[in-house]
Amino acid sequence: MRSRSTVRSTGTLVWYDQPAAGPFSAAPEFREARPLSSRGSAVGHELGKVIRSFATGVCVAATYTDTPDGRRHDAITVNSLTSVSLEPPLICICLPGNSDFLSALRSSNLWAVSILHTGGDEVARILESDRQSRMAALPSLTAAPGPSTGALVLDCLGWLECVLRDEFDAGDHTVVIGEVLATGAQERRSPLISLHGRYHATGAPRTAAPPVPTGDIR
């Protein structure tokens, strides 16, 4: 059974200022503590700028609406994918509360996530556009309905098919929790990376690959 709840700010959170001369010229200073609400929009703006330095993978979330005229697929580029739990298998993505995609997802309850490889940057650009443009482009993409959900799975590194398990309002976004029904992976290719508002390929690893297990590991 799906529930709906809201994460509220307590109003007692405090914030840190960056030192004026740069982040590494001194340890971060704890300069002032004020209720978050008095700095809300300014901190939100700073969050938007700072989080661009957090490199993520890039996925496509897909769902659909069944209409009298047939099934209408929708898909969007997302980088908020997080693995939440292995038992039961849960993942989440974050969507704006007024998202068209979220409305479609609520109508079918079913969705899929395709983790893009480096060659998926063009697909990612297409599916970050408005709903009309991306739905017009969908038939030209290499994609097929997932066997467990019917939501589109793209040419990708790995895919997850989900049922909508829960959702929580959190500020101006909704955290959408999916229970994973089925997974799949294709041949090893490099993942597409989102960083500083652009798409990147991964570079050389900084450490040696871990040894491949040969025996029974307990």
Ligand X SMILES: Cc1cc2nc3c(=O)[nH]c(=O)nc-3n(C[C@H](O)[C@H](O)[C@H](O)COP(=O)(O)O)c2cc1C
For residue 28, whether the previous peptide bond is cis, meaning omega lies within 30 degrees of 0, is no
Report the residue number, 26 or 51, with the smaller CB distance to ligand X.
Answer: 51
Strand boundaries in the chain, DSSP class E: 4-7, 56-57, 59-67, 70-78, 82-85, 90-96, 110-115, 143-145, 152-154, 158-170, 173-185, 192-195, 198-201
Yes or no: say if 87 and 66 are a contact pair by the CB < 8 Å rule. Answer: no
Distance of closest approach, residue 165 Cβ to ligand X, in angstroms: 18
Name the residue nearer to ligand X (CB basis): 131 or 189.
131
For the CB of residue 171, give the shortest distance to ligand X in the complex, in Å: 13
In the numeric block, which tokens belong to residue 51?
């989080």
Q: For ligand X, which is the closer residue by CB, 18 or 103?
A: 103
Residues that bind ligand X (CB under 6 A): 58, 76-80, 93-96, 99-101, 128, 130-131, 194
Minimum CB separation from ligand X for residue 99, in Å? 4
At its nearest, how many Å lie between ligand X and the CB of residue 18?
25
**With respect to ligand X, which residue has the nearer C-beta, 79 or 148?**
79
Q: How far is CA 93 from CA 18, 25, 142, in A?
A: 29, 36, 23
The closest residue (CB) to ligand X is: 80
